[in-house]
Amino acid sequence: MKLKLQPISLIETSMSKNRKSLKLVKSTSGLSTKDDKKVYEMAVRSILKTLDLKDNYTYGHSLRVAQNCLILADHMNMDDEQMYDLELSALFHDIGKIGIPDRILSKPHRLSDDEFEVMKRHPEMSYEILKDFEGFEQIALNARHHHERYDGRGYPDKLSGNQIPLFSRIILLADTFDAITSSRVYRDGMSVDIAYSEIMENAGTQFDPLLAKAFVKAMKRRHSTKEDKTFITLIDDFKEFEYKIGDEEEAA
Ligand SMILES: [Fe+2]
């Protein structure tokens, strides 16, 4: 399979560094650019609302993953355009879970091997949902590859190293961090220190080693400063779903 790994540009930035000045390059509706962006972002929110109604946990997870991706992106000094594309890629990475039956998606116990095989189809479903949305070609690929492993033993396409889109490698880190630290009905979330150890133990096998190191550094810096800055621009009620860093310390 031939993959387009070059990032595409959905948006262009004005001379200002204000992210609110981002505007779409592509127009599908003939509306003015400003109206296009408004309609486009309403569509984004509507699709995410569908995910929220299907599975509130996955919706909250997607918001936290987006926020943690952007913490790393900020640490890496990504520009506004890249951060916007990363935010969209992270918000939509698990959208394919809409296609997973509830009995598997919401099962309060460990999945059987057969159930896990069904669950593993969600990145391809994310890709199928997104790929025909004009301008979302790279975002669809970023979602498709968010469970690839750096050593090539992931899925669905067994890509390795830099074959895996950069944003997919970042999403996997933020995804793993949230999966370890967030609570489910059947278990409490683990501490951020356990998440950091798990990520560093798997740097170079599951994770891109340089990105893993940078992610842990960026998250620790955020943790130590208890900074309360939201990078997400597309969802107004993000705070409701934000992982409260430091909760486990306060509870102890
Ligand atoms: Fe996933």
Stretch 73-91: mean pLDDT? 95
9 pLDDT higher than 50: no
168 pLDDT higher than 60: yes
CA 35 to centroid of ligand 1, rounded, Å: 32
Length of the chain (residues): 252
Cβ neighbours, 10 Å, residue 35: 13
Alpha carbon 18 to its chain centroid, in Å, reads: 23
- Radius of gyration, CA atoms only, the chain: 18
Stretch 144-148: mean pLDDT? 98
CA 60 to centroid of ligand 1, rounded, Å: 13
5 pLDDT higher than 80: no
Domain locations in the chain?
A: 32-251
CA 95 to centroid of ligand 1, rounded, Å: 9
Q: For residue range 217-242, list pLDDT tens digits in order.
A: 999 999 888 778 889 999 887 776 66
- pLDDT given at position 55: 93
Cβ neighbours, 10 Å, residue 177: 25
CA 179 to centroid of ligand 1, rounded, Å: 10
Q: Round the average pLDDT of the chain to a whole number and report it.
A: 84
Distances (CA, A) of 236 to 33, 109, 231: 22, 32, 11
- Report angle CA 88, 90, 95 to the nearest 5 degrees: 90
Distance CA 148, CA 162 (A): 11
Q: Extract the tokens encoding 78.
A: 């990504």
Distance CA 219, CA 199 (A): 12
Stretch 70-95: mean pLDDT? 96
CA 15 to centroid of ligand 1, rounded, Å: 36
Cβ neighbours, 10 Å, residue 197: 14
Distance CA 9, CA 114 (A): 39
Query: If DSSP states are collapsed to H, E and C, what string results for 120-186?
Result: CCHHHHHHHHHCCCCCCHHHHHHHHCCCCCCCCCCCCCCCCHHHCCHHHHHHHHHHHHHHHHCCECC
- pLDDT given at position 244: 47
At 108, which amino acid appears? P
Q: pTM for the complete prediction?
A: 0.83
Beta carbons of 10 and 25 less than 8 angstroms apart: yes
What are the phi and psi torsion angles at 30 (to 5°)? 80, 0
CA 167 to centroid of ligand 1, rounded, Å: 13
- pLDDT given at position 3: 39
Architecture field, domain 32-251: Orthogonal Bundle (1.10)
CA 19 to centroid of ligand 1, rounded, Å: 27
- Report angle CA 209, 67, 178 to the nearest 5 degrees: 65
Percentage of residues of the chain with pLDDT beyond 70? 82
Q: Extract the tokens encoding 239.
A: 């705070």
pLDDT tier at 216, thresholds 50, 70, 90: very high
